[in-house]
């Protein structure tokens, strides 16, 4: 009863393992392995039935089945080893087992298996070492079951069915791993084996599965990397393949990148990298990396970039020349206007420098938060603040004394007229910010914080900041410069007048800036 349960249990487990293999089976699986999974349950079934047989004819028939299993399973195992080790075997050897020298064949099969495994281990990096170990284990199991079965078990027990079962379990582990290689090889073979497209596959643990010829050319380290070994073993692959995989695992959207690399000839190459998941049906089983030689396109882009940069530099240079010519034209107009006013010689140059000193000081002490663009534009706009005087009658503009109320009203018109002229001059400019600041400087530099200024009587912060800064520079120059109706005031008197005007006339928030700029202003005017 115990023997019957033993043989039946071995047969049942063998049959279940075959069902598992059927579930894992793929069209690319080694044919000899598939036959092994068919033959072993049949042989184990024969052992079970042989134990229960009672008549001579049944026993002889079942012995033939057992004998067939003993003859063909070692041969099938050898062919399976050769196939998985990728060693070609001639058709004559493949289909000609000599039953009359059965024991000799078993020894030859054993030697062939060991030789194939050793050769593959030494020479073939693209065959998994894990598979080689699993291929080796059935050999001692089968040999032990065949030659030592009667010595190890009590009478009535055969070790061969159990050795078949153990071998079948080992082949099932191989088949399970082969599913992953099968997916990898199918995808790789569907890719171009030469050309400019490389393909690398790894499992979920970042162990190497395979690559095509192009990938090995792009990444020569793949040629010496053994299948099933971590890609991080190679420093070059750690800095490339492993880094791409880690980025993709951290963020699946980070699946594309550009890789700069020196090829075997030392030439710079660019590759586009695309990482994605590797699937066996619906099951995610690893990662796949596409490498596309993108060198020509990157060179073309670089050429375009250089061309665009050169073109932009040329445009900027010509634009700069036009801007300089434009600024000189405006400055020339301002100087022409100034030449009509016999009381303001050098006023434009001095007030422009005064504005520059105030702006630089404000930025140094951090009293005002001013952008680079604002600072550049207000200094550039300062010479235009009195352009409106071109519309003032010479009799008023060149009067060598103080104005009458009627004459002063005519003089006040220069502010609004200046804004109109500036608007017309800069109407077609692309620099909207500069146009606005220039108009405000010309229009509002005579406004006062208490609303008593002109031309619009603006008060407080309704007066643009650029006009408030211009007002200080304009008045300071008028105070410390000689006019036809007065001598130049001392720096102390001019400073007292400016400070007393902080609040009613000038912006109180500019007090600190003016006070800090005063030494620079005095130094500038002292050197005139």
What is the DSSP annotation of 104-170?
HHHHHHHHHHHHHHHHHHHH-TTS-HHHHHHHHTHHHHHHHHHHSHHHHS-TT--SHHHHHHHHHHH
Structure tokens at 319: 């634009």
Structure tokens at 295: 């060198």
**Residue spans per domain, the chain:** 2-182, 191-293, 314-526
Tokens in use for 277? 């998941």
Q: What is the pLDDT of residue 143?
A: 65
Q: What whole-number distance in Å separates Cα of residue 304 and Cα of residue 352?
A: 42
314-526 folds as Hypothetical protein af1432 (1.10.3210)
Give the span between the Cα atoms of 81 and 33, in whole angstroms.
9
Instruction: Report the DSSP beta bridge partners of residue 275.
Output: 289
Cα separation of 226 and 350, whole Å? Answer: 80
Q: How far apart are CA 18 and CA 29, in angstroms?
A: 14
Residue 173: pLDDT band (50, 70, 90) is: confident
Reported as type and span, the H/E element at residue 203 is strand 197-203
3-state SS, 237-287, equals HHHCHHHHHHHHHHCCCCCEEEEEEECCCCCEEEEEEEEEEEEECCEEEEE
In this structure, are residues 413 and 468 in contact, taking their beta carbons and an 8 Å threshold? no
Three-class SS of 188-202: HHHCCCCCCEEEEEE
C-beta atoms surrounding 210 within 10 Å: 21
Average pLDDT, the chain: 80
8 A C-beta contact, residue 400 and residue 375: no
Continuous segment of H or E residues that includes residue 209: strand 208-211
What count of other Cβ atoms lies within 10 Å of the Cβ of residue 463?
Answer: 22
Among 220, 162, 173, smallest CA distance to 9 is for 162
Q: Cα(437)–Cα(509) distance, rounded to whole angstroms?
A: 19
Residue appearing with tokens 């695309």: 274
Pairing of strands 197-203, 208-211: antiparallel
Confidence of residue 170 (pLDDT cuts 50, 70, 90): confident
Please give the pLDDT value at position 104: 66
Element (H, E) at 289: strand 283-293
* DSSP secondary structure code for residue 346 in this structure: T
**Directed axis angle between helix 138-147 and helix 56-84, to 10°?**
150
Q: Calculate the alpha carbon distances from 432 to 170, 377, 413, 426, 436 in Å.
A: 80, 11, 25, 9, 6
Q: Give the confidence band of 399 by pLDDT, cuts at 50, 70, 90.
A: confident
Tell me the whole-structure pTM to 2 decimals: 0.46
Query: Residue 189 is encoded by which pair of tokens?
Result: 């073979």
Average pLDDT over residues 10-25: 83
* For residues 375-396, average pLDDT: 86
Average pLDDT over residues 65-74: 72
The phi, psi pair for 305, rounded to 5°, reads: -60, -45
pLDDT of residue 500: 94
Q: Model confidence over 234-270: pLDDT tens digits?
A: 888 888 899 999 999 999 898 888 888 777 777 888 8
Q: Is the pLDDT of residue 108 over 50?
A: yes
Q: Across the strands, what pairs with 207?
A: 230
- Kindly tell me the burial class for residue 44, based on how many C-beta atoms sit within 10 Å of its own C-beta (0-12, 13-18, 19 or more): buried
Say what the alpha-carbon torsion angle 255, 260, 265, 267 is, to the nearest 10 degrees. Answer: 140
Q: Is the pLDDT of residue 405 over 70?
A: yes
Residue 438's pLDDT band (cuts 50, 70, 90): very high
Of 131, 194, 160, nearest to 39 by C-alpha is: 160
- The answer regarding whether domain 191-293 maps to CATH 3.40.50.300 reads no
Q: Which of 58-67, 78-87, 153-162 has the lowest mean pLDDT?
A: 153-162
488 or 333, higher pLDDT: 488
Phi, psi for 203 (deg, rounded to 5): -85, -175
CA distances for 430 relative to 122, 124, 316, 322, 435, angstroms:
74, 69, 14, 13, 9
453-459: average pLDDT: 94
> What pLDDT band is residue 507 in, cutting at 50, 70 and 90?
very high
For 159, other C-beta atoms within 10 Å of its C-beta total: 18
Element spanning 473, H or E: helix 465-480
Q: How far apart are CA 473 and CA 443, in angstroms?
A: 15
Instruction: Report phi then psi at 220, rounded to 5.
Output: -55, -25
């Amino acid at each position: 009863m115990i023997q019957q349960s033993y043989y039946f249990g071995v047969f049942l487990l063998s049959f279940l393992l075959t069902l598992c293999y059927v579930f894992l089976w793929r069209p690319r699986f080694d044919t000899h392995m598939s036959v092994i999974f068919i033959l072993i349950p049949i042989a184990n079934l024969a052992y079970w039935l042989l134990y229960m047989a009672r008549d001579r004819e049944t026993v002889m028939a079942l012995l033939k089945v057992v004998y067939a299993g003993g003859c063909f399973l070692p041969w099938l195992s050898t062919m399976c080893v050769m196939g998985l080790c990728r060693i070609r075997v001639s058709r004559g050897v493949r289909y000609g087992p000599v039953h009359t020298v059965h024991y000799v064949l078993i020894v030859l099969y054993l030697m062939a298996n060991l030789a194939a495994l050793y050769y593959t281990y030494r020479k073939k990096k693209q065959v998994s070492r894990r598979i080689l170990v699993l291929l080796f284990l059935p050999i001692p199991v089968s040999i032990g079951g065949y030659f030592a079965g009667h010595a190890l078990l009590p009478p009535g027990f055969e070790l061969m069915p159990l050795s078949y079962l153990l071998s079948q379990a080992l082949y099932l582990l191989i088949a399970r791993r082969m599913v992953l290689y099968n997916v990898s090889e199918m995808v790789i073979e569907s890719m171009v084996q030469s050309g400019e497209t490389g393909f690398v596959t790894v499992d979920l643990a970042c162990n190497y599965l395979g690559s095509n010829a192009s990938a090995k050319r792009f990444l020569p380290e793949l040629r010496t990397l053994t299948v099933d070994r971590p890609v991080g073993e190679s420093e070059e692959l750690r800095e490339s393949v492993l880094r791409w995989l880690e980025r993709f695992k951290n963020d699946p959207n980070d699946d594309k990148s550009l890789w700069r690399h020196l090829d075997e000839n030392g030439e710079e190459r660019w590759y586009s990298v695309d990482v994605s998941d590797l699937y066996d049906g619906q099951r995610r089983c690893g990662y796949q990396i596409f490498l596309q030689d993108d060198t020509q396109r990157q060179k073309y882009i670089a050429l375009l970039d250089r061309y665009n940069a050169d073109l932009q530099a040329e445009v900027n240079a010509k634009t700069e020349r036009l801007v300089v010519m434009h600024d000189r034209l405006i400055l020339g107009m301002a100087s022409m206007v100034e030449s009509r006013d016999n009381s303001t010689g050098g006023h434009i140059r001095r007030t422009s420098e005064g504005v520059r000193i105030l702006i630089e000081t404000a930025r140094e002490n951090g009293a005002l938060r001013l952008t680079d663009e604002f600072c550049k534009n207000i200094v550039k706009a300062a010479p235009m603040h009195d352009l409106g005087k071109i519309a003032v009658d010479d009799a008023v503009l060149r009067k060598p004394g103080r104005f009458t109320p009627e004459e002063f009203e005519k003089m006040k018109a220069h502010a609004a007229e200046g804004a109109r002229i500036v608007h017309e001059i800069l109407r077609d400019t692309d620099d909207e910010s500069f146009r606005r600041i220039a108009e405000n400087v010309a229009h509002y530099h005579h406004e006062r914080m208490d609303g008593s200024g002109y031309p619009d009587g603006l008060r407080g912060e309704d007066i643009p900041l650029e006009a408030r800064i211009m007002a200080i520079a304009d008045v300071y120059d008028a105070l410390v410069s000689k006019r036809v109706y007065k001598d130049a005031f001392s720096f102390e008197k001019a400073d007292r007048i400016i400070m007393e005007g902080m609040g009613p006339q000038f912006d109180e928030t500019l007090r600190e800036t003016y006070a800090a700029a005063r030494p620079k202003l005095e130094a500038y005017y002292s050197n005139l």
